[in-house]
Amino acid sequence: MRISAATITLSSKFQLSIPKAVREERRWEAGQKFVIIPKGKGMLVMPAPELDELAGIAKGACKGGYRDREDRT
């Protein structure tokens, strides 16, 4: 099923309610954490990945040439 665009309203507490059809299609649940990424005049909202989902995503990355706290002056 493909969900069409929906209009939502920002509440006085700066909260947005995600329409039920979107929540069901994406299988989003109450209490789930999300990340918000600013994009131009809008934003991208997506579920925050679990720690185990991040394992191995940097495989083969160069481990040198980065700064850490001791490199700061």
Q: Which of 24, 26, 27, 22 is nearest to 4 (CA)?
A: 22
**Residue 66 to residue 51: CA distance in whole angstroms:** 22
Residue 70's pLDDT band (cuts 50, 70, 90): confident
pTM above 0.85, yes or no: no
Whether residue 73 is predicted with pLDDT greater than 70 in this model: the reply is no
Which tokens belong to 52? 């185990």
Per-residue pLDDT tens over the stretch 10-57: 999 999 999 999 999 999 999 999 999 999 999 999 999 887 777 777
User: What domains appear along the chain, each with residue ranges and CATH number?
Assistant: 1-55 (2.10.260)
The per-residue pLDDT for 67 is 73
> What is the phi/psi pair of residue 25, to 5°?
-65, -40
For residue 1, what pLDDT band results from cuts at 50, 70 and 90?
Answer: low
